[in-house]
Chain A
């Protein structure tokens, strides 16, 4: 079996970083690969933080011949579909941000974003990516798992028999920590308090492990025709996870 993963930060698999990532845990399974090398993670896990669905699609188109099993993550549609290579990890950022390190050229380009893109076009791009990836995998006899990182609102799931998991972002934003005596969801801790999300694949260790098991189970059983709302199902996601305190370097939780 040869597995290729394509997507954005929900699958980014940095080798040197602290913590588990579900792609790394998956590649460690004997029937998936059994060995995890630095090289393997950069070539078989084609996911880049902050990139667009079109970025993942382009790499899928160029590299799919290497794999018979694919996990394709479709990220949020409201991103720059395409940016120069050196700033493509900023595709998520369609608003100007006056923060250190934010590229000047993107600040300039962001002024025009809503002139030259609209939601209908961006949705068509994402819908079409979803449809084409599924059609290609079916035609080329590859086993595919679809992950819709955000909500399923504009996707037509009836066009495929491959399994689809959606609302992964709700699992991620629903993780909790108690900070300074205050019980916070990750959405509150990261968005409201403007902290950088240092979690691997936006999840703590436990949820990365659980998500890996869901993927592994699906691959082993070649499960088809599942349409799973990841957040509102019976999966026992970890709400509180001690690893989060380590990740965010919070002492005395």
Chain B
């Protein structure tokens, strides 16, 4: 059986941090899993990759990202689709300036609704087993599907905590302050990556249908993982060295 994953950073391949997709590739998929997810991309981008490739697979895991992202951007800029005005940036600023005039929640949710429907229809018609994972809270009523649907993955991500500078902090808050990106693979700590891998593996192994779960409410998660403390300990050392001017630069610490 050949497997594929489509989606954004919640599914992307990384060589460290034990991402759930790697675990599935090592265990269940016998290294026959193609990970076509790319960080920061839109629902539409994942869908176009799906359309180009879905016929090559018997099992697909589709991570549906936030509907509000820019569906299309110029070639090479697809990884910036997440930036709908969160961050000033010369590439995105011109688009974000006109965004309120040309995009609406109604339009973007309409597009996502139909992407979801099309992905599920095509898998059904082509006898491909599909697992739907929604990274973000749903903004639209889901069309009916027999395939499993897991929602609210990001709610686990935002609840994860880490020890930093002797204090317990939410990882998302800390990432916002450090501004060096999320150190977690797929925005989850290693324990939760493992947990998600086991949930997905079980669904695939049992070929489960007609299953809908709010991931946060339905399963038990570890919001603290000592392995992640160690990762952020290194971040702390790095930040301290910057403050001490060891790298030849100083930063006004906002911590």
Contact = CB atoms under 8 A, between A and B. Distances in A.
A128 B101 contact: no
Contact of B95 (A58, A81, A115): A115
Nearest to A118: B72
Q: How large is the interface on B (under 10, 10 to 19, 20 to 34, 35 or more residues)?
A: 20 to 34
Nearest to A124: B114
B118 to A, nearest CB: 8
Contacts of A128: 110-111, 113-114, 117
B101 A83 contact: yes
Nearest to B98: A109
B94 interface: yes
Contacts of A120: 48
A116 interface: yes
A117 B70 CA distance: 10
A100 interface: no
Interface in B60-96: 70-74, 94-95
Q: Which secondary structure dominates where chain A touches chain B?
A: helix
Nearest to B77: A115
Interface string A76-119: 00001111100000000000000000000100110010011110
B102 interface: yes
A156 B174 CA distance: 49
Interface in A62-88: 80-84
Contacts of B71: 116, 121
Given A82-B104, A120-B48, A125-B110, A112 B98 contact: yes
Contacts of B95: 112, 115-116
B116 to A, nearest CB: 11
A58 B106 CA distance: 9
B199 interface: no
A75 to B, nearest CB: 16
B20 interface: no
B107 A54 contact: yes
Interface in B201-231: none
Interface of A: 54, 57-58, 80-84, 105, 108-109, 112, 115-118, 120-121, 124-125, 128, 131-132
Given A115-B72, A116-B102, 20 more contacts: A54-B107, A54-B110, A58-B106, A80-B102, A81-B107, A82-B101, A82-B102, A82-B103, A82-B104, A108-B98, A109-B98, A109-B102, A118-B72, A120-B48, A121-B72, A121-B111, A125-B114, A128-B113, A128-B117, A132-B114
22 contacts: A58-B106, A81-B102, A81-B107, A82-B101, A82-B102, A82-B103, A83-B101, A109-B102, A112-B94, A115-B72, A115-B74, A115-B95, A116-B95, A116-B102, A120-B48, A121-B72, A124-B111, A124-B114, A124-B115, A125-B110, A128-B113, A128-B114
